[in-house]
Structures are given as C-alpha cells and as structure tokens.
Amino acid sequence: MAQSQQHPSGDNRFKLLDRAIAKHQSRGDALIEVLHVAQGIFGYLENDLLVYVAQALKLPLSRVYGVATFYHFFNLKPNGEHTFVLCMGTACYVKGAEQIQTALEEHHQCKFGQTTKDNKVSFITARCVGSCGLAPVAVLDDVVVGKLTPEESVRRVEQLKNTPREVPV
C-alpha cells in the first residue's frame, strides 16, 4: 500500500510524490524512478525528502543515500536561480569547451560545480548532451545553445543573470 497520509508539513507537493510511489506499488526497485520524480517536484533532494522516500519504499536510509550520491543527475543541494550546463563531451572538448570554462570561471569568479555568490547562476559540466554537431554546446536553463565562443558565453550568462526566473511550484 502506498503512503497517502498528509505530510506533517502540510506541503501539497508530497501528494504528487505519493502518486508516483503508488504507481510503482511502493517497490524498492523503483527508487531511481521515485527520486527522479522527487527531484522534479522539489528541485533537489534534501535529507527530509530522502527519509520520506526511504520510508515509503521501505528501504534503509544508507541505501537511498548511496544511490542518490552515485548518480550525477541527482542534486542534494539546491541550484542557483539559473543553470549554465557546459557540455564537456569529446566533440565539445575538441572544439574548445575548456576555453569557455576558463573564461566563465574568470569572469564570474566562480568555479564549475558551484553557484555564484549572489545565488544567481550555477555552473555545471555535463557529459555530452548529444548535440555534438553543434559543438561547443551549453544548456542554459533547459535551452540548448550551440556553437558557443568564450565571449558569447560570458555575454549569455550576464543576460541570464538579469532575467528573473519563475520558480516552478
């Protein structure tokens, strides 16, 4: 039976999560599927959420934590308002993704894998987003942008910083 009691926090988003858990009959082997849904709803996987998932799927906490930290797709910390995902696949690398990385890190004083101090942009590297024909490629808030240059990237990020992003509910 799926857990369907109201989450103590009164947060309605847990209803959505419960629905996904019920769809998989609370089976432990659906852990990755459920974590995907949880991250989709909440944006990242904080400890309370992992505990909730572990209890619903009847799994040990350490197992859930082990899985959540194994896969790079899962975030245990929230991202900044915007994300700049730089593709570091072979094609992009050959076409100069590293120079883009250096330019951005210098200009914004923020390493990849981190979020700018003002919490505006998170810089993330990805392993091939599969748009190799357009290398070098980056994904800016879910929009793929190809044939980037270091200058263009810096400009795009500045633009990104100045546009507010609606926080998904």
Partner 1 sequence: MTVDDLQELSEKELQRQSGKKHRILYCSAAGCVSCGSEKVSDALKAKIKEHALEKECDVVGTGCLGLCGEGPLVKVKNDRTLYQNVDVRTAEQIVESHILNGVPLKDHQTDLAAPFFTSQTKIVLENCGEIDSERIDEYIGARGYEALAKAVNEMQPAQVIEEIRKSGLRGRGGAGYSTGLKWGIVSKAHGEQKYVVCNADEGDPGAFMDRSVLEGDPHRVLEGMAIAGYAVGATQGYVYCRAEYPLAIERLKLAIKQAEKMGLLGNRILESQFNFRVDIRIGAGAFVCGEETALLQSIEGKRGNPKPRPPYPSEKGLWGMPTLINNVETFANIAPIIRNGSDWFAGIGTEKSKGTKVFALAGNIRNTGLIEVPMGIPLRSIIFDIGGGTPEGTEFKAAQTGGPSGGCIPSDQLELPVDYESLAKVGSIMGSGGMIVMDSTSKMVEVAKFFMQFCMDESCGKCIPCRVGTRHIYGLLDKISKKKGTQDDMVLLEELCMMVKETSLCGLGQSAPNPVLSTLRFFRHEYEELLQPVETYQDGSAPVADFTNG
Partner 2 sequence: MAVKTLTINGDQYSAQEGESILAVCRQHHIPIPTLCHLEGLSTVGACRLCVVQIEGNPRLLPACTTKVEEGMIIQTSTPKLEKYRRMIVALLASEGNHVCAVCVANNHCELQDLAYQVGLVRVRYPYLYPDKKLDATHREYVMDHNRCVLCTRCVRVCDEVEGAHVWDVAGRGINCEIVSGLGGNWGDTQTCTECGKCVMVCPTGALFEKGVTVSEMEKKKGFLKYIITARQKKEWISQSE
Site of interaction with partner 1 (CB under 8 A): 27-33, 35-36, 63, 66-67, 70-74, 88-91, 93-95, 126-135, 137, 143-146
User: Coil, strand, or helix at residue 38?
Assistant: helix
Task: Classify each residue of 11-41 as buried b or exposed e, where b means 16 or more C-beta atoms within 10 Å of its C-beta.
Answer: eeebeebbebbeebebeeebbeebbebbbeb
Query: Among 1-9, 54-62, 98-106, 111-119, which window interacts with partner 2 (CB under 8 A)?
Result: 54-62
Structure tokens, 137: 């490629």
Nearer to partner 1, 147 or 165 (CB): 147
In whole angstroms, what is the distance from residue 122 CA to residue 113 CA?
7
12, 51, 111, 165: which one contacts partner 2 (CB under 8 A)? 51
In whole angstroms, what is the distance from residue 66 CA to residue 76 CA?
12
Contacts of partner 2 in 8-47 (CB under 8 A): 47
Contacts of partner 2 in 68-97 (CB under 8 A): 69-70, 72
3, 13, 65, 128: which one contacts partner 2 (CB under 8 A)? 65
